Amino acid sequence: MGGAPTANIRGKVLGIDLGTTNSCMAIIELGEPKVIPNSEGKRLTPSVVGFSKKNELLVGDLAKRQMVSNPENTVHSIKRHMGKSDYKVSLNNEKFTPHGISAKILQKLKHDAEKYLGDAVEKAVITVPAYFNDSQRFATKKAGELAGLGVLRVINEPTAAALAYGLRDGINNQKILVYDLGGGTFDVSILKIKDGIFEVLATSGDTELGGDDFDMRIAEHLLAKFQETESKNLLDIPQAMQRIREAAEHCKIDLSSLETANVNLPYIFENKSLDIDITREQFNKMTEDLVKKTISIIEKTLQDGNLSPAEIDEVIFVGGSTRMPAVVKAVEGFMGKKALQNINPDEVVSMGAAVQAGILGNDYLKSPREDVDSGNLVLLDVTSLTLGFETVGDLMAPIIPKNTTIPTRNSKTFTTHYDNQKVVRGKILQGEERVASKNVTLGTLVLDNIPPAPKGIPRIEVTFDIDANGIIYATAKDLGTGIMRSVTIERPEGLND
């Protein structure tokens, strides 16, 4: 994914971490990645979009401020729905796709970067969770394009973090494990860094596990306590629910530095208030299963890479949720070593995206190691999910296994299942299940006009290509006639527009 620099890239290329909770942007300045502030002067922009009561579009802090007073017209954590064809949000009596909402966040970042730099910004490198599938990656790229950005590369968040650390700390000849617990997603990646080559050995994750889930445990506890004392369920009251969500998030953050946090919500419903103390021990019990789930994903990733914890030289923490003491204790205990946290976990991904942008834009990159030419950094990433084709009996035939270095291409030959079959049709699948229907369907591959022949005679070669962004292309070729056709993967509705 690093490779040769791209010629003729004019102007700055923005490195963007499009996060579930917050987004962050960085550029290369004087050879080093530098986080640049938004127009409000803040380094993090809340990934929140809304419309004011006067129908003005609000993005970032302005939208976040109205989440309690105008929850029906405000949307947050949209990243969790990226690539879902049937998901739409209603704002201001208009329906928006997840990539349409994400485009508004990216538009603000682009605009604010231009204001800060005093120059046009037309290109970007955008990060995604390593465990994002093809539809989610495609939706992210589309969001960038809708925001007026040429997306040079979509790169994995843990890999971006490794790039930032590798460049800044001069990590060399080491295996590192990146533990990335963000607001809405979780990834683990293992990389080998040697002489400027960043090679991903294995990656795994869960796109529906993150800080939001820890917040929800506190929110559920608060709701239950209010129900118990006041016999009132607040679930159906949007304003009350938004106040509870915000209080839960603040409580979680407080418990990273305090043993006890107080939640005080006056007049949460009519004249009734909610005033509760929650201890760190209580919070740890509420969320113990979530932390354990992340440890089991570390185990799986180590297994995939044929490695033991002792063979990992460094552990890197990424994402604001890694500030939770229970997370730190569990990961360091399992890995048997202290984690590196000397780059802000909220900013490290955007800094790594800026490094990749610098590689593609042929920028000068400063490295503390004289023996590594930072101008020749190479990133070898992998596909996080197996790619396959549906066969008879609802089975999946794997074509490109997970953890294959990308870009890559592979082919398999299939045949007909009955005499004089004219059409071969099958689903393009992503996932690890043997049963086809249990995996994610990316689209349907159809090859027609097959000349009449007994079953088993025609030979149909299916080829899958995965590009450096992790986005998939498919072709089918009738080896008998030589007829070849590209197959358009039917993206979720609205993504082919």
Q: What are phi and psi of 428, to 5 degrees?
A: -90, 125
Residue entry with tokens 């994914």? 1
Length of the chain: 497
Question: How is residue 270 written in tokens?
Answer: 């009519």
Residue with the two structure tokens 């043997």: 434
Residue 2 to residue 163: CA distance in whole angstroms: 10
**Residue 234 CB burial class (10 angstroms; 0-12, 13-18, ≥19):** buried
12, 17, 249, 252: which is the annotated catalytic residue? 17
List the one residue out of 339, 341, 345 whose CA is nearest residue 319: 345
What H or E segment, with its residue span, contains residue 198?
A: strand 197-206
Strands 32-35 and 174-181: unpaired
* CA dist list (Å): 483 to 27, 418, 426, 478, 489: 47, 20, 18, 5, 19
CA-closest candidate to residue 415, choices 382, 381, 459, 466: 459
**Pick from 440, 481, 480, 447: which is nearest to 463 by CA?**
447
Q: Under 8 Å CB-to-CB from 143, ≥6 apart: which residues?
A: 18, 82, 99, 100, 102, 103, 106
**From 12, 32, 64, 79, the catalytic residue:** 79
C-alpha neighbours within 13 Å on the C-beta side of residue 457: 13
Q: How far is CA 419 from CA 244, 246, 416, 478, in A?
A: 63, 63, 8, 16
In the three-class reduction of DSSP (H, G, I as helix; E, B as strand; rest coil), residue 17 is classed as: strand
157 phi, psi to nearest 5 deg: -60, -50
Catalytic: 17?
yes
Tell me if residue 79 is catalytic: yes
Q: Give the pair of three-digit tokens for residue 151.
A: 């997306």
The catalytic site residues sit at: 17, 79, 157, 180
